[in-house]
Structure 1
Amino acid sequence: MVHETATGLHEAGLLDTVTMREFDALCLPPPPVFTPERIRALRARCNVSQPVFAAFLNVSKTAIASWESGEKKPGPTARKLLDLVDRKGLDVLA
Structure 2
Amino acid sequence: MTTTPRFKSDAFEAIHSAASGLHRSGVVGKQTMREFDALCLAEAPHFDAKSIAAIRKAAKVSQPVFAKYLNTSTSTVQKWESGAKQPSGIAARLLQVVKKHGLDVLV
When normalised by structure 2's length, the TM-score is 0.62
Alignment partners' CA distance in 2, 1:82 and 1:28: 19
AA partner of residue 70 (structure 2): L
- The answer on 1:30 being equivalent to 2:48 is no
Name the structure where helix makes up a greater proportion of residues.
Answer: 1
Q: 2:51 matched to 1:57?
A: no
Residue segments in structure 1 that go unaligned for 5+ positions in a row? 7-26
Distance 1:52 1:82 in 2: 14
Superposed CA RMSD in Å reads 2.2
Q: For residues 87 and 80 of structure 2, what CA distance do their matches in structure 1 show?
A: 6
**Contact 2:59/2:102 (<8 A) preserved:** yes
Mapping of residues 64-75 of structure 1, within 5 Å? 64-75=77-88
User: What percent identity do the matched residue pairs reach?
Assistant: 44
Runs of 4+ in 1 over 3 A off after TM superposition: none
Q: Which structure 2 segments of 5+ residues have no match?
A: 1-8, 14-39
Is residue 3 of structure 1 aligned with residue 10 of structure 2? yes
Alpha-carbon displacement from aligned partner over 1:33-89 (angstroms, at most 9, x marks no partner): 000000000000000000000000000000000000011111211000000101111
Residue 28 (structure 1) shift? 6.7
